[in-house]
Structure 1
Amino acid sequence: MSIQSAPPSVAPSRQSRQELLVELAAEFAETAAEHDRSGIFPVANLDRLRQAGLVGLTVPVAYGGAEAGLSDVVEVLGTIARGDPSTALVLAMTYLIHAHYGRSGEWPEEAYAPVARSTVEEGAMVNGLRVEPDLGTPARGGIPATTGRWTGDGWELTGHKIYSTGAPVLRWMLVWGATDPASDPVGDAASQEQPESSQEQPKSREPRVGTFLVPADAPGIEIIRTWDHFGMRATESHDVVFNRVRLDAGAGIALTPVSTLKDPAAAGSNIASWNGLAISAIYLGVAEAARDWLISFLHERVPSNLGKPLASLPRFQAAVGEIDVTLTTIRMLVETTAREVDAGKAVLASSGSAVKSVVTNAAINVVGQAVALIGNPGLTRANPLERHYRNVLCGRVHTPQDDAIHAAAGRALLAR
C-alpha cells in the first residue's frame, strides 16, 4: 500500500494507521543501519511521518491536530521504533510536549499557537532542553546555569545544554533556565506576568525558573556535535550553546520563583505517566524487532551437520517462546496502563515510572537472551541484532532512572 500525501493535519483512521505504521516501520528499517553508522538523523523519515498525518498526533484539535490519547501514542511509537528507534524518540519528544502544554493551559495562547500550528502544518519538531554539563539531569534537583537576562523589551539567553535529543532537526527549543535577578523585573515574588519595561517594576530578589521558548534558527545558537554514543546513535543528541540569544518579551514561560519550586519528584501524575509509557513503548519496539530478526535467523540458519533449520530444535523453540511470553506480558502492561490514563483513572506518577522500569529492563533482558542464544552472529555488526542490543541498553538512562524509581517506591511504602 502506498502512502498518499494527504493533508498533514488529518490523522488517519485507526485501521488505516495500523497499516501505515507497519509500512513505515519497514521502510525506516531499510536505512536504520546506515544512519546508526553515520550518526546522522534520518530527516526523510520525518517527512514521511508528516505526509502520513502522524506528526501532529497529540496537538489539540483546535490547532488542526488529532489530540490523540496515550494509547494511540504508544501504538505509533512502538511500531515506528521497530524500524528506527531514533526516529521514534525524536517524535516522542514532540508528542510529549504537545500532550502536556497543549492541554495544561500553562502557556499563553500567543506563545503556544505558533508551535502547535507549525507542528501540524509543517511537521516542526520541538523538544525540551534541560540537562547541563555541571548540573546533570534536573530530575534530581538543582537550578539551571542557563540564564535569561531582561533587556528592557525582551530576554537575552545564555547557557549550555547537553544530550539535546534531535537538536539539528528541531524547529523549537524549550530551554529550561533561570532569570538573572539583577535584571528581572517582577512586581510580586509569585507573579507569572511578563513586564512591559524593566523601569516599571521593582527588581526581584531571587531568580525565577521556567522555560524559554527559542526558535531553533535564532542567531547565537550553536550546535556542537558531541553525540557519539553506544546506542541510539542517530538521535543526534548533541550539545547546544546559547550565546546571548535575543528573545521577545513573551518567550519566558511559567517562570516561577526558586523558593516556590516544587520537588521534581512531585511532577503531575499525568505527564509522568505519558513520559514513562512513551519511553517504554520505544524500547519494547526495539526488543520486538530483535525477536522478529531472531525468528528469521533461526529459520534461515541450516547447519550442515544438522540438515534442517535451527528453528526445528526444541532448545531454540523454548528460548524463543520464553522471549515472546515476556514481550507479550510487558506489551499488555503498557497498553493496559495507557488505557487507564486515557480513561481518566487515577494513575499515580509512580505507576508510569514503575512501568518504564519493568518494561525497559525486560526488553534489555530478552534482547540479551537473543544474543546469547545464537552466539557470535548476535554481535556481528552486519546483523541487526547487534544494533538492537546497543539501542535497547539506552532504555536505562532515560529519566527517571531505576535507582530513583526504586527509592521513591520504597519511601512511599515505608512512610505508611
Structure 2
Amino acid sequence: MREPSDELVVAGIDLSGTVARLAAAAPAADAAASFPHDGIRAVHEAGLLGLSVAARYGGRDLSLGDLARLAAALGRGDPSVALISLMTLFAHRQQALAGLWPDPLYRRVLAEGERGPVLLNAARGEPELGSPARGGLPRTRARRTARGWSISGTKRFVTGCEGLSYLLVWASTDEPPQRVGTFVVPGSAPGIRIVESWSSLGLRASGSHDVVFDEVEIPHDDVIGLVPADIAGQDNRAQAALTLVVTALYLGVAEAARDAFLAFAEDRVPANLGYPIARTERFTALAGEIDLLVGGARQIIVGALDQAKPEPDTLLRARLLAGRQVKQAVQLAVGALGNPGLSRDTGLERHFRDVQSVLVHAPQEDTVVALLGRTAFARAAADQAPPVDRLPAA
C-alpha cells in the first residue's frame, strides 16, 4: 500500500487517520444506501466541519484551495461523507463572506456544533423547477404568520437530509411585492417529511432524498437574504469556485481508484509470470496514464483555486477539464483489470459508480459549455469590432 502523502495534509492537518476511518465505513454505507453516521462522526471529531467558519467567529476561514484539498481527501475515503460535509462548509463560508445570517441564530448554530455534528444544506431544487441553475423561481412558499413564517413545498435532491440540523430552504414569500430568500428550518421541526427517492448509481449513502414541508413554522428573523423576486436568479458564474471545489471530491475518488489499481497490480502474481504484473510494461504504462490524468486533474483544480482572483470562466473551464479527466482515469483503471475491476473486493466498482456523478452537479456540463461558448462569441465579436473614432484631445 502507498504511504500517506502530502495529498492528505491540509492546512497543516494530517487527515490520514480520518480518511482511513471513512474508507473503512464507506462500503457498508454504500451497500445499504444508509446515512453515513460513522463517517460524519469521524469528520466532526477531527474538527473539520467548522474549518470554513470566519476568523471573527473563531474559525479557520479556510481558503478555496484548501477547501478543494480537503474535499479531495474526504472524497478518497467516502465521497458521500465528503459531499455532505461540503454543504455544511459552504454554508459557513457564505456567512464568512456575506454575513447574512441573523447573528444570534448563527452563534447558536456554532455553539451546537461544539457538542456534536451540526450539518447544514441548502434545499433549492424542486420537481417543477428542476435545477435553479437553469433559471426560474421556487414554488415553495413562505407565508407570513403572527409568529413568523410558515413554509410549504417540496424540495428535491437535498443531500444528507436525514442528518441535517438545519435546512436552508429557498422559497418565495406570499406578500406583495413577492420576495425570495433562504429560510432557516430546523431539521427536527414538525411538518417535515422525507421521501426516500434517492436511488442513484453512485453516492448512495449521500441520501439526497426529496423533502416535503407542510406548514413548517419558523421565527420571523430566521431568514437569509430576502430580495425582490425579479433579481433572485442563480448566477452560475458566481458559483464557479464552489462547483470546482465539489469536483475536487471526485478527484479524491479517482485517487482512491488509482491506489486500488496500484495495490492490485503489486499483489497480483500470475503463476505463468512469476512476478507481480506491476513490473510488466503494460501495467507500468497504464499506471503512468492514470497518474497523468489524476495528477493533472489535481494540478488543474488547485492551480485554478489558488489564484488570487481567478476568473469565473477559468474556474468553469477547470471544472470540465478536471471532471472529464477523473472519469477517464477511473474508467481506465477498471477496464485494465477486467473482472477484478468490477468486483467489490477491489473497491474499484464503487469508485467507478461514484465518479459518474462528477459533472452532474449544477450547473451541469451542457450549461457550462453554453456559458463558455457565449463568452467566446462575445470576445470574438469585440475583437472584430471596428475602432471607434476619437476626437483629438483639446
> Shared fold by TM > 0.5?
yes
Mapping of 1:260-299 within 5 angstroms? 260-262=231-233, 264-265=234-235, 267-268=237-238, 271-273=239-241, 275-299=242-266
- TM-score norm. by structure 2 comes to 0.90
Mapping of 1:67-78 within 5 angstroms? 67-78=61-72
For the pair 1:173 / 2:144, whether they are aligned, the reply is: no
For the pair 1:84 / 2:55, whether they are aligned, the reply is: no
Q: Helix, strand or coil for the counterpart of 2:358?
A: helix
Name the stretch that deviates more: 350-359 or 159-168: 350-359
User: C-alpha distance in 2, partners of 1:347/1:285?
Assistant: 22
Mapping of 1:184-223 within 5 angstroms? 184=175, 204-205=176-177, 207-223=178-194
Q: Helix, strand or coil for the counterpart of 2:235?
A: helix
Q: Helix, strand or coil for the counterpart of 1:178?
A: strand
User: C-alpha distance in 2, partners of 1:302/1:267?
Assistant: 50
CA separation of 1:332/1:13 partners in 2, compared to 1, >3 Å: closer, same or farther? Answer: closer
For the pair 1:28 / 2:32, whether they are aligned, the reply is: no
Match of 1:348 in 2: 311
Mapping of 1:241-390 within 5 angstroms? 241-262=212-233, 264-265=234-235, 267-268=237-238, 271-273=239-241, 275-340=242-307, 345-390=308-353
Match of 1:44 in 2: 38
For the pair 1:112 / 2:106, whether they are aligned, the reply is: yes
The CA deviation at 1:267 is 5.0
CA separation of 1:72/1:117 partners in 2, compared to 1, >3 Å: closer, same or farther? Answer: farther
Match of 1:232 in 2: 203
Name the stretch that deviates more: 352-361 or 85-94: 352-361
User: C-alpha distance in 1, partners of 2:94/2:31?
Assistant: 34
Match of 2:389 in 1: none
- TM-score norm. by structure 1 comes to 0.85
Mapping of 1:125-140 within 5 angstroms? 125-140=119-134
Q: Helix, strand or coil for the counterpart of 1:306?
A: coil
User: C-alpha distance in 2, partners of 1:267/1:107?
Assistant: 23
User: C-alpha distance in 1, partners of 2:170/2:327?
Assistant: 31
Letter in 2 for 1:280: T
Letter in 1 for 2:159: T
**What is the total number of aligned residue pairs between the two structures?**
371
User: C-alpha distance in 2, partners of 1:368/1:323?
Assistant: 9
8 A contact 2:21–2:42 mirrored in 1? no
Match of 1:148 in 2: 142
8 A contact 1:276–1:355 mirrored in 2? no
Match of 1:95 among 86, 89, 100: 89
Unaligned runs of 5+ in 1: 1-11, 185-203
Name the stretch that deviates more: 233-242 or 41-50: 41-50
The CA deviation at 1:231 is 0.3
User: C-alpha distance in 1, partners of 2:279/2:268?
Assistant: 10
Name the stretch that deviates more: 287-296 or 299-308: 299-308
Q: Report the identity percentage.
A: 38
8 A contact 2:133–2:236 mirrored in 1? no
CA separation of 1:112/1:288 partners in 2, compared to 1, >3 Å: closer, same or farther? Answer: same
8 A contact 1:157–1:246 mirrored in 2? yes
Letter in 2 for 1:272: A
User: C-alpha distance in 2, partners of 1:311/1:163?
Assistant: 41
CA separation of 1:22/1:266 partners in 2, compared to 1, >3 Å: closer, same or farther? Answer: closer
Letter in 2 for 1:224: V
User: C-alpha distance in 1, partners of 2:231/2:206?
Assistant: 35
Mapping of 1:392-403 within 5 angstroms? 392-403=355-366
CA separation of 1:384/1:346 partners in 2, compared to 1, >3 Å: closer, same or farther? Answer: same
User: C-alpha distance in 1, partners of 2:229/2:21?
Assistant: 47
Match of 1:197 in 2: none
8 A contact 1:290–1:388 mirrored in 2? yes
User: C-alpha distance in 2, partners of 1:348/1:261?
Assistant: 22
| Deviations, residues 280-339 of structure 1 (Å, cap 9, x unaligned) | 210000000000000010111122222221111101100110110121111112222222
Letter in 1 for 2:293: T
User: C-alpha distance in 1, partners of 2:298/2:88?
Assistant: 23
Give me the CA root mean square deviation: 1.7
User: C-alpha distance in 1, partners of 2:182/2:146?
Assistant: 19
| Deviations, residues 81-112 of structure 1 (Å, cap 9, x unaligned) | 11111111100111111111232122332343
CA separation of 1:249/1:267 partners in 2, compared to 1, >3 Å: closer, same or farther? Answer: farther
Letter in 2 for 1:412: T
The CA deviation at 1:42 is 1.7
8 A contact 1:98–1:116 mirrored in 2? no
User: C-alpha distance in 2, partners of 1:175/1:229?
Assistant: 23
| Deviations, residues 212-257 of structure 1 (Å, cap 9, x unaligned) | 1101111101111111211000001111110000111112321222
Letter in 2 for 1:31: A
Unaligned runs of 5+ in 2: 1-8, 380-394
The CA deviation at 1:120 is 4.8
| Deviations, residues 99-145 of structure 1 (Å, cap 9, x unaligned) | 11232122332343323333355320100011111111101001111
User: C-alpha distance in 2, partners of 1:367/1:128?
Assistant: 30
Letter in 2 for 1:137: S
User: C-alpha distance in 1, partners of 2:335/2:96?
Assistant: 45
For the pair 1:64 / 2:32, whether they are aligned, the reply is: no
